[in-house]
Amino acid sequence: MKKTSTRLADGRELVYYDLRDDTVRDAVDRRPLERTVTTSEVRRDVLLGDSIAVASHRQGRTYHPPADECPLCPSRGERLSEIPDSSYDVVVFENRFPSLAGDSGRCEVVCFTSDHDASFASLGEEQARLVLDAWTDRTSELSHLPSVEQVFCFENRGAEIGVTLGHPHGQIYAYPFTTPRTALMLRSLSAHKEATGGENLFDAVLAEESAGERVVLTGEHWVAFVPYAAHWPYEVHLYPRRRVPDLLALDEAARAEFPRVYLELLRRFDRIFGEHEPPTPYISAWHQAPFGALEEFEGVTRDDFALHLELFTIRRTSGKLKFLAGSESGMGVFINDVPPERAAQRLREAATA
């Protein structure tokens, strides 16, 4: 992998990740852009004990542009985009309309391929590995920013999820705090460790699920399963068999196997509703240990956390979506229409022929 860092016309950082070491990236952003002005602010909810971001400048962000005006395609001729070069393998740049910025963190866009009509599932294994390497590198770089406590790499796919740009891409949020879901996991880790005399809760869950009926697929270094208490109709958790706290700690064997396993999972998601259905909308989310202090979670260290990916769709059956209604949105209590055991069976049956 070759990494080349440059700057866009308004000062934002852009990084090319290339498969070939001899690739030259010297294209200049020719757009007449002014410096990006953001109004991001993090506010603490004293009743719930969590934080939210206020980012009013995002009201003006690009919204469902036609394909020939996509800002994530390469620049060609006089058609100028966010990527100055006329081609690329993988590229990451600071979001022009970030939810978090400055002392409030940072947001980046990850373009998985220059092919506008592709999807992550259609990538080859070499390209998917390059994306994994880019996620890992960005996690490392962002973790060193003084305002950052947690790095979150994710992909939103599909208009039903709320995606406003059709080009295959994901995002990275670098938060100035530990996110609420991660904090819940850390509290459960702490409580379980104390109650069992030191047992790791992630290890216990992985051991139980790996031997159960909700396994979807396995590799030598990875295992994917539908969790016992899945929140979403089709939800898969992908874990490395060797517990590590973040992407940086994955060994080469796990990195090499990841593309095959992950691409198969994504392709099964596209098959579970039938070949005549539109591509399955989904969210794919990496859970990594925070880089900030963990003193409030008694007895827990970063090494106790288990890196894992959660992949889920809001489609519950053909032509029907799972909406977050009163119980979910009002009280945070999910009601799942699809038994996890049935979801796992469907995903096993959707294996590549």
> What contacts 24+ positions apart, CB below 8 Å, involve 71-77?
71/165, 72/109, 72/111, 72/116, 72/165, 72/167, 72/169, 73/114, 73/116, 73/167, 74/114, 75/27, 75/30
The owner of tokens 């373009």 is 111
Q: Which of 116, 144, 169, 308 is catalytic?
A: 169
Please state, in angstroms and as integers, the Cα–Cα distance from residue 239 to each residue in 217, 218, 236, 265, following that order. 11, 10, 10, 13
First to last CA, the chain: 32
In the annotation, is 169 catalytic? yes
What ranges in the chain are assigned the alpha helix state H?
125-143, 180-196, 201-210, 252-271, 331, 340-349
Burial class (CB in 10 A: 0-12, 13-18, 19+), 260: middle
Residue 118 CA to residue 115 CA, distance in Å, equals 6
Helix (H) / strand (E) containing 220: none
Amino acid at 119: S
Residue 134 CA to residue 132 CA, distance in Å, equals 5
Strand partners, 154: 171, 285
Catalytic residues: 169
